[in-house]
């Protein structure tokens, strides 16, 4: 299925207040499933806006993946925009925000992303020693100097780690939003 227009509407431009035309499209994205792509343009001031979001979701899941050897870094990771990524051995957790987007990377890319974010945060941290200790641990994780675990908790059920080693289990979500 290609790009299919499903809706077109007008609203007030957030910049100039004139007519802002928005079109919504449905698209079948490989590995993610159906997504909605919205794009808008103001015919007066030229302001442009776009957004991508999942069109549907599955049951909430937890994916556990053990990294024991260098080849384990090559597994493909598909992270949905709502997934939480954890590396328990390092005390690291990446939570989604309102503007989070899904992405496709490798386990190595995931660890490198943690490394890059932490390096930036450490440069502005008041307690640099503890922060830089985690940087050293991530450098070792990139070389697989020790085994560690990647855990992805995804309420949309879309995330995947493409490997026979990945363990996927359904998770229960309490009424208050906490995960069991």
179 in a domain, yes or no? no
pLDDT recorded at residue 177: 64
Residue 176: inside a domain, yes or no?
A: no
Q: Look at residue 57 in the predicted model and tell me its pLDDT.
A: 76
User: What is the distance between the alpha carbons of residues 76 and 157, in angstroms, rounded to a whole number?
Assistant: 16
Sheet holding 4-12, edge to edge: 4-12, 19-29, 33-42, 48-54
Q: Please write the tens of the pLDDT for every residue from 105-116.
A: 999 999 999 999
Query: CATH number, domain at 72?
Result: 2.60.120.1040
Flag whether 153 is in a domain: yes
DSSP state of 136: H
Same domain, 31 and 77: no
pLDDT at residue 101, as a whole number: 80
Same-domain check for residues 90 and 124? yes
Check which CATH number belongs to the domain holding 47 and give it.
2.20.25.420
| Containing structural domain, residue 34 | 4-54
List the beta strands (DSSP E) in the chain: 4-12, 19-29, 33-42, 48-54, 61-67, 76-79, 84-87, 92-94, 103-106, 148-154, 160-162, 167-170
177 in any annotated domain:
no
Identify whether residues 67 and 114 lie together within a single domain: yes
Residues 175 and 180: their CA atoms lie apart, in Å, by: 11
- Number of Cβ within 10 Å of residue 116's Cβ equals 11
Distance of CA 87 to the CA centre of its chain: 15
- What is the Cα Rg of the chain in Å? 20
Cα–Cα distance measured from residue 53 to residue 51, given in angstroms and rounded to the nearest whole number: 7
- The answer on 153 and 90 residing in a single domain is yes
Domain end call among 54, 70, 91: 54
Report how far apart, in Å, the C-alpha atoms of 26 and of each of 20, 37, 46, 50, 54 are.
20, 6, 24, 14, 10
Q: Which two tokens stand for residue 138?
A: 């991530």
All residue ranges of the chain with pLDDT < 70 are 1, 127-128, 176-178, 180
- In the chain, the number of structural domains is 2
């Amino acid at each position: 299925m290609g790009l299919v227009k499903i809706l077109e509407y007008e609203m007030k431009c957030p910049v100039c207040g004139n007519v802002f035309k928005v079109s919504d499209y449905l698209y079948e994205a490989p590995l993610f499933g159906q997504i909605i792509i919205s794009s808008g343009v103001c015919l007066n001031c030229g302001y442009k806006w776009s957004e991508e979001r999942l069109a549907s979701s599955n049951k909430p899941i937890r994916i556990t993946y053990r990294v024991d050897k260098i080849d384990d870094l090559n597994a493909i990771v598909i992270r949905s925009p709502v997934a939480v990524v954890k590396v328990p051995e390092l005390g690291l957790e990446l939570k989604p925000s309102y503007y989070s987007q899904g992405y496709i990377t490798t386990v190595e890319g995931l660890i490198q992303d943690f490394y890059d974010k932490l390096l930036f945060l450490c440069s502005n941290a008041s307690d640099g020693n503890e922060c830089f200790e985690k940087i050293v641990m991530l450098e070792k994780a990139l070389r697989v100097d020790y085994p560690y675990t990647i855990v992805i908790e995804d309420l949309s059920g879309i995330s995947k780690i493409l490997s026979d080693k990945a363990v996927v289990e359904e998770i229960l979500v309490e009424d208050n939003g906490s995960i069991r």
